[in-house]
Amino acid sequence: MVSDKELAELIFPEVKESIEDLEKRYPLRNLPSGAEVTRFAPSPTGFLHTGSLFTSMVCHKVASDSNGIFYVRLEDTDTKREIEGSGLQLLEQLKLFNIVPSEGYLGDHQVGQYGPYIQSERADIYKVVIKHLLEEGKAYPCFCSQEELDDIRAKQEKAKIIPGYYGPFAKYRYLNNDERKQRILKGDPYVIRFKSTGNHIHKIKVTDLVHGNFEIAENDMDIVIFKSDGLPTYHFAHVVDDHFMRTTTVIRGEEWIASLPIHLELFKALGWQAPKYAHLPVIMKIGENGNKRKLSKRLDNEAAVSYFLKDGYPSEALIMYLMTIANSNFEEWIFEHKFEHMEEFKFSFDKMSLEGALFDMGKLNFFSREILSKKSKEEMLEMTLKYSKEYDEKLYNLVSSDPEYFKKIINIEREKENPRKDYEKLGGLYDLISFFYKDLYEEYVKTNGLVYNEKFSLEQVKEVLSALKELDITKDEQTWFSQMKSIGESLGFSSDRKAYKANPEAYKGMIGDVAEILRITLTTKKNSPNLYYVMQVLGLEECHRRINQVLSK
RNA sequence: GGCCCAAUGGAGAAGCGGCUUAACUCAUUGCCCUCUCAAGGCAACAUUCACGGGUUCGAAUCCCGUUUGGGUCACCA
């Protein structure tokens, strides 16, 4: 009769190393107490998902708050779904959010003593562990075909019992080693399954950093740990990698809670201590049927981080927003700290909500405006150049043609205690500032014309405008405004809101109406930054030119 | 369907048995202010914490049940 050891040797003759060798190769990390080792473990199956950004942000934060290590491991064991180049892309995008691993897979190279950090390069490590499990009789080759599997499932469904490969249904679990050897020699395809000793009637107590303690049924499935393509499954790779990479806290999405018993059983079978776990809630959105559902890359723009990048949201805004979801006390904290130095905020798992939050675009916009308003004109220029170079050619040409002029435009009421919040994101900036440029202004007027308030006739508009030519912008804003008021008053516009409201018939309109006529004339828009400063930037000559142009029509 | 997790306003949430006639933020709506918008100021916005029962002098908070929602049940992660 073939022994377990002989069978293991038959399957993995090339494996000479032992688990002890691996333990030596990957020694315990020498870190100060309390230091957490966390990891972000993406699959290279597409662009960065907003949920992944959320998870990686938390991983990064937990490590940096504790002076620990944050590393990235590429989980590329699903060769069918892999998208070429997406691993690099993922890392590049993380970097834009200041999430930079100190170890691991960095996109174009790997750093660290615990590698390789790409699972497909770790086959020899997995094999050592699997051979060990085989030798101990804790794993076995399974020759079950897809048809057989389907058959088992169909029977189980019919009998209304738990589907899966377990207990009496795990037919190849009961083959003896002679039979196994024979089939292997014959060349029958097989996978390696873990031989579970659990019973789902038993409950195990688990502790989760986010959810606290709860009970869950023991695993009793003989799960596949080694696929026929020679690569491990997620469950097995997670256990082996996080053990040998010496991860202290596994932070991942809530969808993994259900497979926790599998992972815990694997750790136990190998005699290893399991890491701490934190299962994060998933970011949701209201679906077509009115119910909440996970943000979907296919259906929701906001599921892809690239969407925000393309739209020109500052990366801090997204991170700040995600942090409000991550920790309920963050919002008050960041208000107290005037939206600055968010890296000093201390993250904690027990301030995390258990329920998946609905993605709130409105709140992101709020943070984004806040952040953009706090930037200096130099930072705005730099950001705009960088953004537009990649995403908005028209804007890039406009801004780079005269950076100093752009700084003047963007600096209107910026450097003050409560700066203006005109800009929500860099996307669409072109349309907001184009009127500052003579050619673009002309082009707009030619194609769209200027639309004034209907309650004033063209004659009235002209009357107001010709009077407004007197406006002096060489003095301070105060003087300018009093001047506008007296011009307005002389034409029959009220500058006293109360008086106007009490007796609207007595006036042609409010001083605001006068300002609106000027504003539309100069900016083509009903909304614009502070008119006095707009005029400063445009220059008196250009202002008069625009006014005269309207008057001549 | 089984198992697990969750449930406070339009959204994010605080709340941990009496201090709650439920904090804070976003959104929305009104009003005020030397121009629009923004900012700022002032208001409004859950008589009630999914529902039912219980424990208690006292419950959003503890217990039980129901309901609803989410997750998961692959040689995918």
pLDDT of amino acid A549: 87
Strand B contacted by A33 CB (< 7 A): no
Beta strands A103-105 and A69-72, pairing class: parallel
pLDDT of amino acid A504: 76
Give the count of domains, chain A: 3
First-to-last alpha carbon distance for chain A, in angstroms, is 105
Residue A326 lies in a domain: no
A454 and A540 in a single domain? The answer is: yes
Strand B contacted by A213 CB (< 7 A): no
Task: Provide the whole-model pTM.
Answer: 0.93
Report the distance separating Cα A40 and Cα A93, nearest Å.
Answer: 14
Tokens found for residue A358: 């609905």
CATH of the domain at A524: 1.10.10.350
Residue A462, SS3 per DSSP:
helix
What ipTM does the predicted assembly reach?
0.93
pLDDT of amino acid A90: 94
Distance A330 CA to B34 C1' (A): 37
* Residue after which a domain boundary falls, among A383, A403, A436: A436
Residue A340 lies in a domain: no
DSSP string, A54-121: HHHHHHHHHHHHTT-EEEE-B----TTT--TTHHHHHHHHHHHTT---SEEE-SS-EESTT---BGGG
Tokens found for residue A62: 């937990």
A409 and A449 in a single domain? The answer is: no
Distance A374 CA to B48 C1' (A): 40
pLDDT of amino acid A246: 97
pLDDT of amino acid A48: 93
Residue A299 lies in a domain: no
Distance A494 CA to B30 C1' (A): 23
A412 and A485 in a single domain? The answer is: no
- The nucleotide whose C1' lies nearest the CA of A366 is B26
Strand B contacted by A291 CB (< 7 A): yes
Which residues of A spanning 378-417 put their CB closer than 7 angstroms to strand B? 413
Q: Is A547 exposed, middle or buried (0-12, 13-18, 19+ CB in 10 A)?
A: buried
A199 and A235 in a single domain? The answer is: yes
A179 and A158 in a single domain? The answer is: yes
CATH of the domain at A213: 3.40.50.620
Distance A327 CA to B56 C1' (A): 34
Is the distance from CB of A462 to CB of A550 less than 8 angstroms? Answer: yes
A127 and A259 in a single domain? The answer is: yes
- The nucleotide whose C1' lies nearest the CA of A482 is B34
> For residue A246, what are the domain limits?
4-17+123-280
Residue A118 lies in a domain: no
A506 and A382 in a single domain? The answer is: no
Residue A71 lies in a domain: no
Tokens found for residue A188: 């029958």
Is the distance from CB of A52 to CB of A20 less than 8 angstroms? Answer: no
pLDDT of amino acid A488: 86
Strand B contacted by A538 CB (< 7 A): no
Provide the residue-wise pLDDT of chain A in tens; the chain has 553 residues.
899 999 999 999 999 999 999 999 999 999 999 999 999 999 999 889 999 999 999 999 999 999 999 999 999 999 888 998 999 999 999 999 999 999 999 999 999 999 899 999 999 999 999 999 999 999 999 999 999 999 999 999 888 888 999 999 999 999 999 999 999 999 999 999 999 999 988 889 888 999 888 888 999 999 999 999 999 999 999 999 999 999 999 999 999 999 999 999 999 999 999 999 999 999 999 887 778 888 888 888 899 999 999 999 999 999 999 999 999 999 999 998 889 899 999 999 989 988 888 999 999 999 999 999 999 999 999 999 999 999 999 999 999 999 999 999 999 888 887 888 889 999 989 999 999 999 999 999 888 888 888 788 888 888 888 888 888 888 888 888 888 888 888 888 888 777 777 777 778 888 888 888 899 999 998 888 889 999 989 988 899 899 988 888 7
